[in-house]
Amino acid sequence: MKRYQVAIIGSGPAGLLLGALLHKAGIDAIILERQSRDYVLARIRAGVLEQGTVGLLHEAGVGARVEREGLVHGGFALNFNGHSLRIDLADLTGGKTVTVYGQTEVTRDLMAHRDQIGATTVYEAKDVSLEDFDGDAPRVSYTKDGQRHQIACDFIAGCDGFHGISRASVPDQALSTFERVYPFGWLGVLADVPPCSHELIYAGHERGFALCSMRSLTRSRYYIQCSLEDRIDNWSDQAFWDELRRRLDPAAAEAVVTGPSIEKSIAPLRSFVAEPLRFGRMFLVGDAAHIVPPTGAKGLNLAASDVHYLSQALIEFYGEHSSAGIDDYSRRALARIWKAERFSWSLTTLLHRFDTMTPFERRMQDAEFAYLQSSRSACASVAENYVGLPF
Ligand code: FAS
Ligand code: PHB
């Protein structure tokens, strides 16, 4: 039976980044991924990286392209019923910024790096199962090209996302979960048109939320809040562009350049946390452990901070023969996870239209925005969360 020090389940950003950081420390890890490489790369997801995430890519030796091609943003705009408020990130956080660089590109860079270092990744690994992870000799089995394989390892990193096998392998009684499912989704469109603004615009409008983002100066990413019953077939490109413009302030609406969509998808929104994040020799990382509504641009960045904590803990275990880090992983990661959950939930509550909102709750949205308009401290709170709280 083949043996690896760490078996990583999932070749998304969490699994790939963990593999890169462990390799750099001389720790041998295999990645088992259910889908094909191309399937993983075809997913259009996050677009904003915190400085800490960019720092981890550099630490892993994968920072060159994001440095070259990433768009550094010093602020973003909040639009609320026609009023616009710029959150000056750099000014409010003593110079911190975010980098606009698609998750697809992060994944592409990490996959290319893994190829260069010759580390083992098994794509299209089917029916992965985790065995004896609550003992001292965990094993992972999977089927590849019809052949069943089994590997031995010291640790399992469950980086397999919200619908993965890792969290599902934990007995119900050993896990506590906390969830809020939002009564709406986001309809996202990717188009090769220049962005309508040089910075992101988060718009709260009585017709619903809208977000103007980008992937480059020639490729834009837009979202509008939609109902959970909506289907992408209900939305022609023209219908999307018209609705987007209705939800933006006049200047931004005027600046929107339309064009054919190259991707169109609807994502549900949920807040979710599983506790704890460690079960014997198995750890939950990234979306396997938590989900945030994308309003705060935290999903990918939270996966990165989990990886930071777990890679440090495993490096300490192998390098210093100390289990202090792995014993503390769950507590440390959850402390930052819950703060990001709070920020993502609060921004989602401020900017979206909830059919169930009472007139009082609608006034609370108005008052929250009015407070932001009148208070540097309130804006500083949004800014320090948006750029990413310290690891
Ligand atoms: P991922 O889900 O990316 O990766 C998990 C991997 O595990 C996948 O490749 C999957 O195929 C694999 N896997 C699953 N089950 C397996 C099994 N049994 N065996 C082997 N492999 C298995 N975040 C933002 O910050 N901003 C956004 O705008 C944003 N938009 C999103 C839109 C959508 C539709 C979704 C679903 C998420 C979005 N996110 C966004 C969050 C997203 O970016 C995640 O936070 C990020 O992908 C987390 O990375 P991972 O934890 O690696 O999980
Ligand atoms: C994106 O560009 O996909 C994006 C940016 C910021 C968010 C969510 C999504 O908050």
Which has the closest alpha carbon to 103: 161, 158, 30? Answer: 161
**Residue owning the nearest CA to atom 31 of ligand 1:** 45
Measured CA distances, 247 to 134, 241, 307, 327 (Å):
51, 10, 37, 48
Paired tokens of 164: 């993965």
Instruction: For residues 359 and 197, give the distance between their C-alpha atoms in angstroms, rounded to a whole number.
Output: 33
Q: What is the CATH number of the domain that holds 328?
A: 3.50.50.60
Paired tokens of 342: 């709070």
* Domain annotation covers residue 54: no
The residue ranges of DSSP E strands in 10-161, in sequence order, are 29-32, 48-50, 71-73, 75-80, 83-88, 98-100, 121-122, 126-131, 139-144, 147-158
Instruction: Using the mean position of ligand 2's atoms as its centre, give its distance from the Cα of residue 43 in Å.
Output: 14
Contacts of 382 by beta carbon, 8 Å cutoff, 6+ apart:
78, 87, 347, 372
The alpha-carbon radius of gyration of the chain (Å, integer) is: 21
What is the structure's pLDDT at 26?
98
Q: Is residue 205 annotated as part of the catalytic site, yes or no?
A: no
Are 60 and 18 within 8 A, CB to CB? no
What is the structure's pLDDT at 102?
96
* Domain annotation covers residue 235: no
Contacts of 240 by beta carbon, 8 Å cutoff, 6+ apart:
187, 189, 222, 224, 261, 264
Name the DSSP class of 169. G
Instruction: For residues 210 and 213, give the distance between their C-alpha atoms in angstroms, rounded to a whole number.
Output: 10
pLDDT in tens, 337-350: 999 999 999 999 99
* Domain annotation covers residue 389: no
What is the structure's pLDDT at 96?
98
Residue type, 101: Y
Q: List the catalytic residue out of 4, 13, 23, 73.
A: 73
What is the structure's pLDDT at 81?
80
Are 1 and 150 within 8 A, CB to CB? yes
* Domain annotation covers residue 231: no
Measured CA distances, 305 to 59, 270, 340 (Å):
13, 20, 11
pLDDT in tens, 199-231: 999 999 999 999 999 999 999 999 999 999 999
Helix (H) or strand (E) holding 90: helix 89-92
Domain that holds residue 339: 2-49+65-70+102-179+270-349
What is the structure's pLDDT at 373?
97
**Residue owning the nearest CA to atom 10 of ligand 2:** 297
* Domain annotation covers residue 215: no
- List of the chain residues with pLDDT < 70: none
* Domain annotation covers residue 76: no
- Count of residues making up the chain: 391
Which has the closest alpha carbon to 284: 306, 301, 313? Answer: 306
Name the DSSP class of 359. H
Pocket test for ligand 1, best of 36, 39, 45 (most atoms within 8 A of CB): 45
Helices 376-386 + 324-351 axis angle, to 10 = 130
Q: How many domains does the chain have?
A: 1
Instruction: Using the mean position of ligand 1's atoms as its centre, give its distance from the Cα of residue 170 in Å.
Output: 19
Instruction: For residues 189 and 210, give the distance between their C-alpha atoms in angstroms, rounded to a whole number.
Output: 11
Q: Is residue 294 annotated as part of the catalytic site, yes or no?
A: yes
Q: Is residue 123 annotated as part of the catalytic site, yes or no?
A: no
What is the structure's pLDDT at 197?
98
Largest CA distance in the chain: 64
> For residue 295, which atom of ligand 2 is closest to its CA?
10
* Domain annotation covers residue 337: yes
* Domain annotation covers residue 295: yes
